[in-house]
Amino acid sequence: MQTESTHTAERPARPRATPMNAGGADPAAAARTRVVVIAPVWGRRHIERFLAVVLPTWLSPGNLPAMAGDGPAAVRFMTRRSDEQRIRTSRQFETLSGICDVEFAFVDDLLAPDFVAVTLTLALHRGVAIEADGHGTARCLLLNSDFALADGALAHAARQLRAGAKLLLAPSLRVTEETAAPLLQERLDAARVNCWPPREMARLALDHLHHTVLSSRADQAWLRSRNAHQLYWRVDENTLIARAFCMFALGVTVDGPPPPVAAYCDFGMGALMTGDEKPVVMDNSDDFLALEIASEDYEDFFTHYGEPTPRSVAARLQEWTTDFHRAQADHTIVVQSAEPGPALPAVKAVSDDFIAGVRAQLGPAHPLRGHPNWLGGLEGWRRGRRAIGLDRDPEELEAAGPEQQSRGRLGLVRTVRKAILRLLVGAPGARALWQPYFGLNHAAGRMLRGREACVSGPTKLLSWDRFGALPACAGAPAGLQIIGLDLAHPVILRHQLAQLRAAGTGAAPVVLFAYKEDAAPILPRDFTRLLETTDSWLRIEQVQRFSMPLDTAAERAYGRLADHFTLRRPLKALGMALAGLPYPVLLLARNLARPVAGAPESPKVTAMLISARPRAAAGAGSAL
């Protein structure tokens, strides 16, 4: 167990708030109630965007100043020790510290190469636990560093907590960073104006909706999202309504230490902290509006052509929703840049029918505690930490119950799942003939044979990709360092390249296996991004492009099959296997009949095999 203190108290000396439950009928008691904003932010890019675009909106008159005017208030940054100074020396920090208390708590011991969602969850939990430890009752607003807020949003949310609310749920509306952020910043820089009234910010959002919002609109038939957990309908030029199956926990009130982490922060952590309390939902943008700023290529693998239907939406929701999530869709959320027109009741009725159709297709709900998504993410997070020499769990997990902390049970589950997956898909580099990526492994092996750049010696695998360990391909030459790069996930890609550079490549040749799923084309901008990132320390010598039949749906089905076995649902897994038996038979026939072919000019390129050598001047031990 790490015993080093993980936070510093930077608040001025003043009396602590007396632990109490705020009562709406007692304004004097509410005025004595402290509310703290927990703000996790780390990493240069995220901090710079937060300081330039997001924090100024938090400082608008109706947000932190009004919140502090109602009673004791604080902001607690959850960050890395190395990032604290950049926040402190910013112009915005000086303004912030003049409004309310500012505190720092450190998350260095929570970091892992991948699975950022787990780190974010543990960071928010730590922020709440620190507040409960210092004040008995923790009243916390949980805000991501990419949430720009309309004026008045924070004060409204804080008043709900001071009035006695235990759990606040709110939707965020995702906008495209490349087009919306410059407009946000232009206004903020123009005359140091940091106030965005709700309806003006709603207008900005409606004009710059992210593609994941557009593909989640159920009132059009051209795009669909493979992860439609928030569904939208356009009422008129000024109004959008939403029905959400997963809102983020905006605020929590916790008496005493919070229970151990057992769900993602935007999945159910707040509900587990507050018990059976009925949540208060922020369902109108006039009261609360948070814009989630995301790059245009963020989650672009979720957007596909086709019509969203209750059946297709329900099929995805069935994989993860709990009763807690399904109840959230009862609420109609209105985003309005002006008064809604007369079509609002009719559009709401259409959304009611669609949600009813979705629910008719849903089977039994998943449990919120011990959810397979959380357990799988947690194990992946642990695996990434072990790769960088961190074997111990932080305190937030040490006290967890046996359901997620029993090493014996999780070890058995891991072992059984690996064995079943090996049976279903084969070993890495030697995929089964009925597996979707059988052809890929063998094609990569053929392409690697006989390369003049190869040297003798053991193969060094620095990054594990979803297709398996490519060095295990039959005939692959020794001495290669082979790295799988997932171009569809920019965050994962950055981690993979950072690991590669930090590990040091010496003089041995490197093969970068860059790919996208579902036959998505590798665009010039993808290769440009990769080249810009690696050019200072890798010299690219040869690029070979090829296409292949991909079927990630089959791989996910195999994984769910293994999960049902390991989650003690063998009968359901057996039924899935029998129902899906024709599928692997068809794959077997396809793999035997149609080998992967090179397609250097194909418009549907899905993978690139890149030969490179480390530059002599590159700093092998430095990080990106």
In a shared domain, residues 427 and 500: no
Q: What angle (nearest 5°) sits at the alpha carbon of residue 368, between those of residues 367 and 372?
A: 75
In a shared domain, residues 104 and 209: yes
In whole angstroms, give the CA distance from residue 30 to residue 21: 9
In whole angstroms, give the CA distance from residue 453 to residue 55: 50
Whose tokens are 């010299």? That residue is 539
In whole angstroms, give the CA distance from residue 233 to residue 239: 9
In whole angstroms, give the CA distance from residue 531 to residue 527: 6
In a shared domain, residues 181 and 277: yes
User: How would you classify residue 450: left for phi > 0, otherwise alpha for psi between -120 and 50, otherwise beta?
Assistant: left
Q: According to the model, what pLDDT value does residue 377 have?
A: 84
In a shared domain, residues 148 and 70: yes
In whole angstroms, give the CA distance from residue 264 to residue 498: 26
In a shared domain, residues 426 and 500: no
Res. 5: pLDDT tops 50: no
Res. 402: pLDDT tops 60: no
Cα atoms in the 13 Å half-sphere on the side-chain side of 289: 29
Longest dimension (CA), the chain: 80
Q: Which structural domain, as residue segments, surrounds residue 219?
A: 7-361
Which candidate, 456, 363, 436, 452, places its Cα nearest to that of 583?
436
Tell me the per-residue pLDDT of 277-291, one tens digit each, with 9 for 90 and over: 899 999 999 999 999
Which candidate, 64, 279, 60, places its Cα nearest to that of 187?
60
Spatial neighbors of 358 by CB under 8 A, at least 6 apart, are 310, 313, 314, 317, 329
Res. 119: pLDDT tops 50: yes
Q: What is the mean pLDDT of residues 148-158?
A: 96
In whole angstroms, give the CA distance from residue 613 to residue 620: 12
Q: According to the model, what pLDDT value does residue 134 have?
A: 82
In a shared domain, residues 575 and 609: no
CATH code of 487's domain: 3.30.110.10
SS3 282: coil
Tell me the per-residue pLDDT of 407-464, one tens digit each, with 9 for 90 and over: 444 555 566 666 766 676 666 556 667 665 565 555 555 555 544 434 333 333 333 3
| C-beta separation of 609 from 546 below 8 A | yes
Q: According to the model, what pLDDT value does residue 187 have?
A: 79
Q: What is the mean pLDDT of residues 332-355?
A: 96
Q: What is the mean pLDDT of residues 121-149?
A: 93
| C-beta separation of 570 from 527 below 8 A | no
Whose tokens are 């995220």? That residue is 46
Cα atoms in the 13 Å half-sphere on the side-chain side of 557: 17
Single-letter residue type at 265: C
Q: According to the model, what pLDDT value does residue 381 have?
A: 87
In a shared domain, residues 80 and 107: yes
Q: According to the model, what pLDDT value does residue 356 have?
A: 97
SS3 58: helix
| C-beta separation of 514 from 534 below 8 A | no
In whole angstroms, give the CA distance from residue 154 to residue 284: 14
Looking at the DSSP bridge assignments, the partners of residue 546 are 598, 607
Tell me the per-residue pLDDT of 568-622, one tens digit each, with 9 for 90 and over: 556 665 665 665 555 566 667 766 665 544 433 343 456 777 878 776 533 333 3
Please tell me the total count of domains within the chain.
3
In a shared domain, residues 430 and 456: no
Residue 1 included in any domain: no
In a shared domain, residues 116 and 45: yes
In a shared domain, residues 584 and 618: no
Q: What is the mean pLDDT of residues 37-49?
A: 93
In a shared domain, residues 213 and 321: yes
Q: According to the model, what pLDDT value does residue 16 have?
A: 27
Of 238 and 549, more confident: 238
In whole angstroms, give the CA distance from residue 534 to residue 621: 14
Residue 395 included in any domain: no
Please, what is the average pLDDT of the chain? 77
Residue that finishes a domain, picked among 312, 342, 361: 361
Which candidate, 259, 255, 273, places its Cα nearest to that of 396?
259
Q: According to the model, what pLDDT value does residue 593 have?
A: 64
Q: What angle (nearest 5°) sits at the alpha carbon of residue 323, between those of residues 318 and 327?
A: 105
Residue 99 included in any domain: yes
Residue 403 included in any domain: no
Residue 389 included in any domain: no
Q: According to the model, what pLDDT value does residue 306 have?
A: 85
Q: According to the model, what pLDDT value does residue 462 have?
A: 35
Q: What is the mean pLDDT of residues 46-70?
A: 94
26-40, 379-393, 522-536, 564-578: least confident range: 564-578
Q: What is the mean pLDDT of residues 10-34?
A: 44
Q: What is the mean pLDDT of residues 389-412?
A: 60
pTM: 0.70
Residue percentage of the chain with pLDDT more than 90: 41
Residue 32 included in any domain: yes
Residue 378 included in any domain: no
Res. 400: pLDDT tops 60: no
Confidence of residue 25 (pLDDT cuts 50, 70, 90): very low
Residue 367 included in any domain: no
Spatial neighbors of 524 by CB under 8 A, at least 6 apart, are none
Q: According to the model, what pLDDT value does residue 582 have?
A: 59
In a shared domain, residues 282 and 236: yes
